């Protein structure tokens, strides 16, 4: 009888029984099956409550990048990644910046966008105006969903409404701007958009479909700036090579994709090490970086290379 991946009640099985079923299906030997059940820092009991159909945990090495001086503060940065040299490179780069004061970093307010998609509206411009006319009531209703966030200084701050043209016709997109404080914000934002969706349907006369956070976090931005002495990089010729590599990536999407992958090596490693959503960060970066994420500010005739 042919094997089937349709195993009734698989999710209900204890982890050990799931491993046995996978072992039989995939033809694993005893040693291979045993590797799946090696305990790690994340125990099976916890993992089984986090995601579906757990058969094991996959450890990722976590190290720390040293030498960071950020806004005058000494920092050790946790990084979880399987690729060699990334942590060493970050540590080395941070050391190069120290003679010039290290990194200077700034952030905007932690505003995330929650989108409510309205379709089937007879007059999109009228609907937009009437939704905006009820802005304060909609924000009040949104904030009532998360009094804890509001008590910590966060909550729905504003409401914007856009009209977009699609192959399905015009759509009205209402967007809640939510200050999520230190949270990533998906749960809070989604709860708010779901709560105001019926009100927006009533106001617009249309039908709401999607009501969910956007991972294109253009209103929640961070910027870091550092200056590298050219001698630390290897001299002016090396600086010229770095700038030429940047120019190549800025003009060519094939180079750009790989250039940005290198940047995301560091970003993703920190996001993973701090227990945050790597997919959300990468999805937003993929959309917002048509050119390389590093901007080179100056080099010729200088003794330094400044990058942001």
The secondary structure of 191-206, three-state, reads HHHHHHHHHHHHHHCC
DSSP state, residue 144: T
Looking at the predicted structure, is the pLDDT value of residue 22 above 50? yes
Q: CATH 3.30.70.420 in the chain: give the residue spans.
A: 111-214
The gap between the terminal CA atoms of the chain, to the nearest Å, is 60
Q: Please, which pLDDT band fits residue 38 given cuts at 50, 70 and 90? A: confident
Rounded to two decimals, the pTM is 0.84
CA nearest 305: which of 221, 243, 218, 215?
Answer: 243
pLDDT for the residue numbered 303: 47
Give yes or no for a contact between 205 and 188, defined as CB atoms under 8 angstroms apart.
no
Give yes or no for a contact between 158 and 139, defined as CB atoms under 8 angstroms apart.
yes
CA nearest 79: which of 91, 71, 69, 70?
Answer: 91
pLDDT tens readout for residues 169-225? 999 999 999 999 999 999 999 999 999 999 999 999 999 999 999 999 999 999 999
Q: Please, which pLDDT band fits residue 290 given cuts at 50, 70 and 90? A: very low
Looking at the predicted structure, is the pLDDT value of residue 39 above 80? no
Class of domain 111-214: alpha beta
119 φ, ψ (degrees, to nearest 5): -120, 170
Span of 50-64, 114-128, 162-176, 196-210 with lowest mean pLDDT? 50-64
**∠ at Cα 162 (161, 164), nearest 5°?**
155
Top pLDDT among 47 and 40 is at 47
Q: Please, which pLDDT band fits residue 264 given cuts at 50, 70 and 90? A: very high
Class of domain 62-107+221-307: alpha beta
Q: CATH 3.90.770.10 in the chain: give the residue spans.
A: 62-107+221-307
């Amino acid at each position: 009888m042919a094997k089937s991946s349709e195993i009734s009640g698989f999710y209900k099985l204890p982890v050990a029984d799931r491993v046995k079923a996978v072992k039989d299906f995939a033809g694993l030997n005893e040693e291979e099956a045993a590797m799946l059940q090696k305990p790690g820092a994340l125990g099976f009991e916890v993992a089984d409550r986090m995601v579906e159909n757990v058969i094991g945990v996959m450890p990722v090495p976590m190290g720390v990048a040293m030498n960071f001086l950020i806004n005058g503060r000494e920092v050790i940065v946790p990084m979880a990644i399987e690729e060699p040299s990334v942590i060493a490179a970050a540590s080395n780069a941070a050391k190069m910046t120290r003679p010039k004061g290290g990194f200077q970093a700034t952030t905007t307010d932690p505003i995330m966008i929650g989108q409510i998609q309205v379709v089937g509206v007879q007059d999109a411009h009228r609907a937009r105006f009437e939704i905006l006319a009820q802005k304060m009531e909609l924000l009040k209703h949104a904030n009532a969903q998360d009094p804890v966030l509001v008590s910590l200084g966060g909550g729905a701050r504003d409401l914007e409404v856009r009209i977009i043209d699609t192959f399905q016709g015009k759509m009205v997109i209402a967007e809640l701007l939510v200050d999520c404080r230190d949270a990533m914000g998906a749960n809070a934002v989604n709860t708010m958009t779901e709560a105001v969706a019926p009100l927006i349907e009533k106001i617009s006369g249309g039908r709401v479909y999607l009501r969910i956070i956007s991972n294109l976090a253009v209103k929640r931005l961070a910027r870091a700036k550092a200056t590298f002495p050219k001698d630390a990089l290897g001299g002016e010729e090396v600086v010229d090579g770095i700038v030429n590599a940047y120019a190549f990536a800025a003009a060519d999407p094939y180079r750009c994709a790989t250039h940005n992958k290198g940047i995301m090596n560091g970003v993703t490693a920190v996001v993973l090490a701090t227990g945050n959503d790597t997919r959300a960060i990468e999805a937003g970066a993929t959309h917002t970086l048509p050119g390389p994420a590093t901007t080179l500010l100056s080099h010729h005739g200088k003794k330094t290379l400044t990058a942001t």
